[in-house]
């Protein structure tokens, strides 16, 4: 068996990493502007939203990418790899945009979260089914 070249996870992982860095950079800008070194208790609502948007991405993206990588290593159909990767990218973008523009509930935040969870649960189930179908 030859060396497997990953074609999907590096692309979506790279794009999602850029999203995390962008969200983290926004937090840094708020911290500098508001002279807050740690935490967010003294920050504006906009800063608190930026902190949560970044933290939420960091909380959800690693697990999703791990599941995507396992699917790729198990040679899932390419179009399904793109469906999962694009769904993850879209849902994380929606969540970040929704939370960055409004503290509390928003359509972007709600749909981004729901789509992320559906994607993660579906990838988990497909990973399990792949193993039991062999």
**Span 63-100, pLDDT tens digits:** 999 999 999 999 999 999 999 999 999 999 999 999 88
Separation of CA 82 from chain center: 15
Provide the CATH topology of domain 9-132: 1.20.120
Which residues, other chains included, contact 64 with Cβ-Cβ below 8 Å and sequence gap of 6+? 88, 116, 119, 120, 123
Domains in the chain: boundaries = 9-132
Q: Are 67 and 120 in contact (CB under 8 A)?
A: yes
Answer yes or no: pTM beyond 0.75.
yes
What is residue 119's three-state secondary structure? helix
């Amino acid at each position: 068996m030859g060396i497997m070249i990953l074609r999907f996870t590096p692309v979506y992982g790279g794009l999602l990493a850029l999203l995390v860095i962008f969200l983290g950079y926004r937090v840094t800008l708020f911290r500098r502007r508001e002279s807050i070194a740690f935490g967010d208790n003294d920050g504006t609502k906009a800063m608190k939203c930026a902190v949560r948007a970044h933290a939420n991405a960091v909380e959800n993206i690693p697990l999703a990418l791990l599941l995507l990588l396992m699917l790729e290593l198990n040679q899932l159909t390419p179009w399904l790899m793109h469906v999962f990767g694009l769904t993850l990218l879209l849902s994380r973008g929606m969540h970040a945009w929704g939370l960055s523009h409004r503290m509390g509930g928003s359509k972007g935040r709600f749909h981004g979260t729901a789509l992320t969870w559906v994607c993660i649960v579906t990838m988990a189930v497909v990973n399990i089914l792949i193993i039991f179908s062999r």
